[in-house]
Chains A and B, each alone.
Chain A
Amino acid sequence: MAGYVREVSRRVFAQEFRESNLTFKDGDDQYSPQYLLTPTGAKVNRLFIVGTLIEKEDIGTDSEYWRGRVSDPTGSFMIYAGQYQPEAAQALAECETPAFVAIVGKPSTYTNAEGTVFTSVRPESISIVDVDTRDLWVADTARRTLERVKDLDNMDSNVVKAKEHYNTDKDHYSSMVREALRSLKEDL
């Protein structure tokens, strides 16, 4: 276990996650971790999201394969859980919709025939939470996103890579954060 460092669960809003399409590996090894780099420069191998499970469907043919849609103030995340995520698949199967759920998971991408990249989340765990936790997450994610937006002027290699690839518009993401925070304040 020496030298093993657990990947941090990044905080990214659904909108930014949906607008991400750049994946890369740290190192050449087949076991090197894979990352999704988002437009504001978050290097995501794991993410933590809290939102509302608004749809769920078993789309599996032979075995159960659950698809869920989890929304936050900016959009929604697609969640896929099958036989390799037994705990999460079971949680999705048992869960009612809508419900506040907290999900820890890995980003995953799929490219269709036209070359469009779709992002989704492969959950490690799904748990039912309350509205307070959801609100805390929105504030938490707003703070981390703002930090990244402010750091967009840095010469950090991930930031540079993100800006080159996405030509990131700062205002686009700061207004996304503002909207999310305002919606939070209105609800309270």
Chain B
Amino acid sequence: MDKTAESIKSKFLELGVDIPLEDIVERLDKLVTKFKVPLDEARRSVITYFLKENDLDRNAFFGGQSTTPDSRSTPDVKLNGIDEGGKWVNIKAKVLQLWDSSHESVSQVGIIGDETATIKFIKWSRDTIPDVEEGKSYYFKNVVSNEWNGRFELTLNKNTVVEELDEDIEVISSPMAGAGDGQPAPMVNIADIAEDGKWVSIRAKVSQLWDNSHESISQVGLVGDSTGTIKFIKWTSADLPDLTEGNSYLFNNVVAQEWNEKFSVTLNKNSSIEELDEDIEVASSSITFAGAMVDVQSGSGLIKRCPECKRALTKGACMEHGKVDGTYDLRIKAVLDDGNTAQESILKRELAEQISGITLDDAISMAADALDQGVVLDQMRLKLLGKYFTVTGSKVDRYILVDSIEPQDGMDMEMLDELIADAEMI
């Protein structure tokens, strides 16, 4: 801890501020000993405190001795030498890919590489750094390494200087670079897509196209082959022809991406699409489940969705977009139970209307009359709980996304006779 305190002191001295060592130790000690803060966090907190006390800019401290970047104190490293987060480094590398940035705060994002490795980089819009170009090599001075989900990436910041190099940096050949070389990525089955960031090619049929409200996405939906189905995203900037639902295509050079343990493939500028004459058979992921509806969960009934992303709002706010003016929708999150399995099922608006007999308009006026949208859920529970249903749909995580639902009514006499025969055998 004393060492940490001394290093903080000397860093501040360089900035022309003399802070008594005992003040630093005292603050550090309080955090570490009394409040069980890890030393790293405590150090950060103490630095922030004294920076504020002395009216200093954070970047002055973290970014070097002065506001003008001094790349001489930052080491030149090769990309495979990046093995911890939070390091300032200088890198000579070639821009291999530029991805489509889906967020306005990111000005450029992609992959750079040298002869040792490739790494993702991010350039923020707030920092005025000239754009880099694919295929060109640059000297990136004062960039910061970050660790994210066990992977490293480089962040360009306002102290970063980017100089274009005349030389062409040689790049390690890796799957990441595959698409850039004009080599088609390996052909795989959808079920075998299991590595984040991997370039692959697939032959698949477009089984669903979804509504999409984001202008940077041109098409989104599901594609499938005989081994499974996977979500795809086609970026507007990829400038690829539109896909038609039900047609089969060869997708060259698409990127597998993992999100919440689920994979999707993205189609970008390096991807190509060829329509196929054949009709690819898609594995049926559809399952049928019959049981009694033992719960209609909260979040069912009349809900509001974010107009941007269609997510259901919680207390009028979207997880992604904050407070928004939501649009009304109906849905049912039901638990069907057959005595051996409790199966959660999600019914979208049309099906919710069909089995509850309550239309979206009915629901809106019911809620308006009662000044409470909870009345819709109450009505649905009254109507549906305890009844037997058969649903068919696709299994996603622990849910069935229901395509069709039918009430079970009336006894199947044949089945009853079989049961009686069965009971008599024992």
A residues adjacent to B (C-beta < 8 A)? 5-11, 46, 48, 50, 101-104, 124-125, 127-129, 132-133, 135-137, 139-144, 146, 149-150, 170-171, 174, 177-178, 181-182, 184-185, 188
Say which one of B21-29, B105-113, B337-345 lies at the interface with A.
B337-345
| Nearest residue, chain A, Cβ from B344 | A6
6 other A-B residue contacts (CB within 8 Å) besides A178-B423, A181-B423: A9-B337, A104-B294, A125-B295, A125-B385, A137-B388, A185-B416
Contact of B411 among A7, A46, A184 (CB under 8 A): A184
Contact B409 A48, beta carbon cutoff 8 Å: no
Contact A185 B420, beta carbon cutoff 8 Å: yes
The answer to whether the Cβ of B381 comes within 8 Å of any Cβ in the partner chain is yes
Complex A-B, nearest 3 residue pairs according to Cβ-Cβ distance, in ascending order: A102-B386, A174-B426, A127-B385
A188 to B338, CA, bound (A): 23
Contact of B387 among A102, A103, A149 (CB under 8 A): A102
Can you list 12 residue pairs at the A/B interface with Cβ under 8 Å? Answer: A7-B342, A8-B339, A8-B342, A9-B337, A46-B294, A48-B339, A125-B385, A137-B292, A139-B415, A143-B419, A170-B426, A185-B420
Interfacial chain B residues near A142, Cβ < 8 Å: 419, 423
A7 to B341, CA, bound (A): 8
A-contact 0/1 string along B303-332, CB 8 Å cutoff: 000000000000000000000000000000
Interfacial chain B residues near A146, Cβ < 8 Å: 419, 422-423, 426
Contact A132 B409, beta carbon cutoff 8 Å: yes
Contact B339 A10, beta carbon cutoff 8 Å: yes
Interfacial chain B residues near A140, Cβ < 8 Å: 292, 338-339, 388
Contact B340 A150, beta carbon cutoff 8 Å: no
| Nearest residue, chain B, Cβ from A135 | B411
Contact of A127 among B341, B386, B410, B416 (CB under 8 A): B386
A-contact 0/1 string along B380-415, CB 8 Å cutoff: 011001111000000000000000000011110101
Interfacial chain A residues near B415, Cβ < 8 Å: 139
Contact B411 A9, beta carbon cutoff 8 Å: no
- Residues of B in contact (CB 8 Å), total 31
A188 to B422, CA, bound (A): 19
The answer to whether the Cβ of B8 comes within 8 Å of any Cβ in the partner chain is no
A62 to B329, CA, bound (A): 42
Contact B340 A8, beta carbon cutoff 8 Å: yes
| Nearest residue, chain A, Cβ from B418 | A143
A128 to B423, CA, bound (A): 30
Contact B424 A178, beta carbon cutoff 8 Å: yes
Also in contact, A136 and B388, with CB within 8 A (given A125-B295, A178-B420, A188-B413):
yes
Q: Specify which of B295, B385, B409, B417 lies most central, judged by the most chain A CB atoms within 10 Å of its CB.
A: B385
A149 to B423, CA, bound (A): 10
Interfacial chain A residues near B295, Cβ < 8 Å: 104, 124-125
Contact A9 B386, beta carbon cutoff 8 Å: no
| Nearest residue, chain B, Cβ from A101 | B386
| Nearest residue, chain A, Cβ from B426 | A174
The answer to whether the Cβ of B46 comes within 8 Å of any Cβ in the partner chain is no
Interfacial chain A residues near B413, Cβ < 8 Å: 188
The answer to whether the Cβ of B335 comes within 8 Å of any Cβ in the partner chain is yes
